A and B are shown apart, each in its own frame.
Chain A
Amino acid sequence: MSNFPFAIRATLPTKPRDFVVLAFLILCLIFFLMPIYVMVVTGLKEATSVSLSSMWDLPTRLSGGGFMEAFQRLRPNMGNSLMIAIPATILSACWGSVNGYLFAKWKFRGSNVLFALLVFGMFIPYQSILIPLIQFLEILKLYGTIPGLVVVHVVYGLPIVSLIFRNYFANIPDEMIEAARIDGAGLFRIFTNIMLPLSLPAFVVVSIFQFTNIWNDFLFGVVILPNPQSQPVTVALNNLSGSFSVDWNVVMAGAITAALPTALVYIFLGRFFIRGLLAGSVKG
């Protein structure tokens, strides 16, 4: 990943063909921004001025629109999502870094098979483990609790996080480890003194990736936390949009509110975000 694929170098359009390309890209840009435009203008309208026929129009007067009500309704659930996503991200990043290190640099007989068994876990449809998962959490008295959901996200995050770290550590030359070993460093010291100081970029990538995934999760949230008070924001947002007593401006404002944390992460740390999704998919 050292050679980042997106070099910053732009040329001005000169040939007619370049202008056609630019025009097409601008059309695509409009298409990609359209739903965001709809969400923002609807969210900013007053309940009385949200009507089906004026959906594309800009709000006529400046006001908070549906945002006040949406924020009031979703604030507890935003807090829940943070209480789920932050500890789960930190725990899975730390644990995954150890696994990734071991799989990359301490191969043993059968370690590749174990790794394949681990990575398979990130592709399964989670529907196929939900029934036993709930029973298991009930036995542990974790069903319906936020710590229970944190455990679930940490465990099912292990495959992808270990994979990203393994791919990252695999790029660190074996000679460095060999040299450290000759100097008498063992498995732990190589990790803490050589690998960890080099792995800050990987931690950033993994944290952003996991935070986004966990924040956006819906299935685990809705199944493991039946109590509306402790549900994450995605589940609360879906409930909000499904109830007929709530106006559309509030729903759209709620959608923006719920999307804001991951959107901000993307806007400010987009570089790492792209690396994360490539690292999680491209092998080696």
Chain B
Amino acid sequence: MKSPATESNSAGTAEPVPNHRLPWTREKISRPRRFSDRLLAPLLLSPAMTLILIFVYVFIAITVWVSLSNWHTLKIDMSIREPLGATYGQMFMMPRWHANLRNVFIFTTLFLSFSLAFGLLLALLLDRKLIGHTIFRNVFLFPYALSFIVTGIAWRWIFNPETGINILIDALGLNKLIQAMGGPPLHPGWITDPTVLFSLNNWLGALFPPIKSMSIQLGIPMALIPVVIAAAWQLTGFAMSMYIAGLATVPHELREAARIDGASEIQVYTKVVIPQLNAVTVSTAIILGHVSLKIFDLIFAMTGVGPGFATDVPGIFVFEMTFKATRYNLGAAASVIMLLLVCVIIVPYLWTNLRKR
């Protein structure tokens, strides 16, 4: 396998290297090769970088153009729509888009807080290394390996109001208990329920009157809660794994020292261990946060747009406007807003992480 050139190289170094060689000799020997290699690295990277330039940056630029264009039928029309940005204006007037923004905000908030808190709790409990902890950990992470479509299908069945959870509520005697206390039996519609909980419209409307005339309720759509549970089921294991990896970097001496200093077991965690995990929390929140801003497959398979757009999100809006309604400029405009939302959290993250090196 050896080429003549490399053989002569290894023959050259086979001679004993004198110890007293001056520092600059090494420089002198390796500089010419280093120079050509320095040119070689960018050259070898150029195919990949060219593809990324096209598939990411040029394509985003084209999408921005489409969002500003007149292309709203099957016939391509890249002429710029007057006035500039009219499609965005049109979109931000749509009640459906308002519902989208509300849903993605509520979904992200609930999903993030739930999976981070639950993931941290599981990691801390598993950190005690009780019997069976590897089995627990493997089961908790297992859903991460599944497709969102599979998750969506399974949970759609579980949250079907005619079966699933509602049968369990009956079987556990919860409804008997409620009825005995004089309440109406609990029979939530889950993913078919269009109600919005904790609506803030009246309250916010008092501060800012235009909100009173909004066509959507600013609150937590009931149908979104099962979706949050399904997403948390799938991704809590990821948060847990991140925290387990983070916990492994917190030295045991630190905890021992705190215990010797008289800290209670809870204080050891709240005052010593958890503050050490801040960086992990930030990375996990950013990764899960950008996943939830982009969420599409799970909701598409589980609920679709939902009753009264209760589970509609920008990911689905883009898909339907572009590929079902062929309103390309509107779909593109929504996707540009999605991209901007993701950039708000990803760009600072990349900036701080890659500058550190």
Known interface pairs A55-B163, A106-B37, A238-B149; A124-B60 also in contact (CB < 8 Å): yes
Instruction: Give complex CA distance A234, B122 in Å.
Output: 30
- Give B303 Cβ to nearest chain A Cβ, in Å: 12
Of B176-184, B196-204, B346-354, the stretch lying at the interface with chain A is B346-354
One of A60-68, A196-204, A271-279 at the interface: A271-279
Docked pose: A39 CA to B339 CA in angstroms? 35
A22 on interface, CB distance cutoff 8 Å: yes
A193 CA / B63 CA spacing, docked (Å): 44
Beta-carbon contacts under 8 Å, B289-335 to A: 290, 293-294, 296-297, 300-301, 314-315, 318-319, 322-323, 328, 331-332, 334-335
Distance A5 CA – B357 CA, assembled complex (angstroms): 23
Q: With A99-B45, A116-B354 as given contacts, are A10 and B287 in contact (CB-CB < 8 Å)? A: no
Residues 181-193 of chain A, each 1 if its beta carbon lies under 8 Å from chain B, else 0: 1111111010000
Q: List 18 A-B contacts (CB under 8 A).
A: A11-B129, A12-B131, A28-B140, A29-B139, A35-B233, A55-B157, A116-B354, A123-B346, A132-B58, A132-B59, A158-B48, A215-B147, A219-B297, A237-B153, A238-B301, A251-B153, A262-B145, A265-B145
Check A117 for interface membership: any CB of B closer than 8 A.
yes
Does B30 lie within 8 Å of A182, measured CB to CB?
yes
Residues of chain B lying within 8 A (CB to CB) of residue A259: 146-147, 150
B275 CB-CB contact with A under 8 Å: no
Across the two chains, which residue of chain A brings its CB closest to B157? A38
A58 at the interface (CB under 8 A from B): no
User: A194 an interface residue at 8 Å Cβ cutoff?
Assistant: no
Q: Does A266 contact B (CB under 8 A)?
A: yes
CB distance from A248 to the nearest CB of B (A): 7
Which candidate, B85-93, B206-214, B215-223, B237-245, is the interface stretch facing chain A? B237-245
B126, B141, B145, B301 — most chain A CB neighbours (10 Å): B145
Per DSSP, are chain B's interface residues mostly helix, strand or loop, or mixed? helix
* Interface check A111, CB cutoff 8 A: yes
B149 touches A218 (CB 8 A): yes
Helix, strand, loop or mixed for chain A's interface? helix
A70 CB, nearest partner CB in chain B, Å: 12
The reply to whether the CB of A147 lies closer than 8 angstroms to some CB of chain B is: no
Instruction: Identify which of residues 122-156 in chain B touch chain A, using a CB-to-CB cut-off of 8 Å.
Output: 122, 125-126, 128-134, 136-151, 153-156
Question: Are A155 and B41 touching (Cβ within 8 A)?
Answer: no
- B353 to chain A: which residues have CB within 8 Å? 283
A132 touches B63 (CB 8 A): yes
Q: Which residues of the partner chain B approach A18 to less than 8 Å between Cβ atoms?
A: 128, 130
Residues of A within 8 A of B40 (CB): 106, 187
Known: A55-B157, A114-B49. 10 other contacts (CB 8 A): A11-B129, A123-B350, A125-B335, A127-B314, A127-B315, A136-B59, A187-B41, A216-B147, A219-B296, A266-B141
B71 closest partner in A (C-beta)? A131
CA distance A114 to B167 in the complex (A): 55
How far apart sit A182 and B351, CA to CA, in the bound complex (Å)?
35
- Closest-by-CB residue of A relative to B29 is A182
Is the CB–CB distance between A32 and B283 below 8 Å?
Answer: no
- Alpha-carbon gap, A240 to B244, bound state (A): 38
Give the contacts of A1-15 with B (CB-CB under 8 A).
3, 5-13
**Which residues from chain B contact A117 at a C-beta distance below 8 Å?**
49, 52, 56-57
Proximity bits, A111-138, B CB within 8 Å = 1, else 0: 1101111111101111111111100100
Q: A276 CB to closest chain B CB, in angstroms?
A: 11
CB distance from A218 to the nearest CB of B (A): 4
Contact flags A66-80 to B (C-beta < 8 A → 1, else 0): 000000000000000
Write the nearest CB–CB distance from B145 to chain A, whole angstroms: 4
A130→B322 contact, CB < 8 A: yes
Is A181's CB under 8 angstroms from B130's CB?
no
Interface size grouping (class) on chain B: 35 or more
| A positions within 8 Å CB-CB of B | 3, 5-13, 18, 21-22, 24-25, 28-29, 31-36, 38-39, 42, 52-53, 55-56, 95, 98-99, 102-103, 106, 108, 111-112, 114-121, 123-133, 136, 155-156, 158-159, 162, 181-187, 189, 212, 215-216, 218-219, 223, 234, 237-238, 241, 248, 251-252, 255, 258-259, 262-263, 265-266, 270, 273-274, 277-278, 281-284
Tell me, rounded to whole Å, the shortest Cβ–Cβ distance linking B264 to chain A: 12
Binds A, one of B8-16, B109-117, B186-194: B8-16
- Scoring A35, A218, A263, A277 by chain B CB atoms within 10 A of each residue's CB, the highest score goes to A35
Query: Is B338 in contact with chain A by the CB < 8 A criterion?
Result: yes
| Given A10-B133, A42-B157, A55-B167; A32-B140 close (CB under 8 Å) | yes
The reply to whether A274 and B141 form a contact with Cβ atoms under 8 Å apart is yes
Check if B148 sits within 8 Å of A184, measured CB to CB.
no
Contact check, B130 vs A11: say whether CB atoms are below 8 A apart. yes
Query: Cα distance A209–B42 when bound, in Å?
Result: 27
Using Cβ atoms and an 8 Å threshold, which residues of chain A touch B24?
A: none
| Residue of B153, B158, B336, B357 ringed by the most chain A CB atoms within 10 A | B153
**Which of A29, A35, A112, A181 touches B154 (beta carbons < 8 Å)?**
A35
The residue on A at minimum CB distance from B345 is A123
With A248-B157, A281-B283 in contact, do A129 and B55 touch (Cβ < 8 Å)?
yes
